[in-house]
Amino acid sequence: MRYKTVNLQPATYERLRRYQFSGRSLSDVIDQLMDVAEPEELYLEALKVHRRRMKELKRSGGLSISDTRQALAKRD
């Protein structure tokens, strides 16, 4: 069987380990958690966050083109 490495923050790893019992592997734990959490619910939550941020941006008057260019230049 082939394996993949997944990088986790230490706090996330410790939280995940709390679900590990009775000889279950972390892969078993993740599979069970994914069976419970529907992807659509996660997508809807991300969409809600995006819409809230867009409303906040509109209320604040938005960003000018020059502000946007400066922000993008900082990322490079």
Q: Is 30 exposed, middle or buried (0-12, 13-18, 19+ CB in 10 A)?
A: middle
CA dihedral sign of residues 8, 17, 42, 61? negative
Is a pLDDT exceeding 80 seen at residue 24? yes
> Three-class SS of residue 45?
helix
Instruction: Tell me the pTM.
Output: 0.55
Domain boundaries, the chain: 10-75
Mean pLDDT over 26-33 rounds to: 94
Q: What is the pLDDT of residue 71?
A: 84
With bands split at pLDDT 50, 70 and 90, how would you rate the model's confidence at 74? confident
Mean pLDDT over 27-32 rounds to: 94
Mean pLDDT over 31-55 rounds to: 92
Q: What is the pLDDT of residue 16?
A: 95
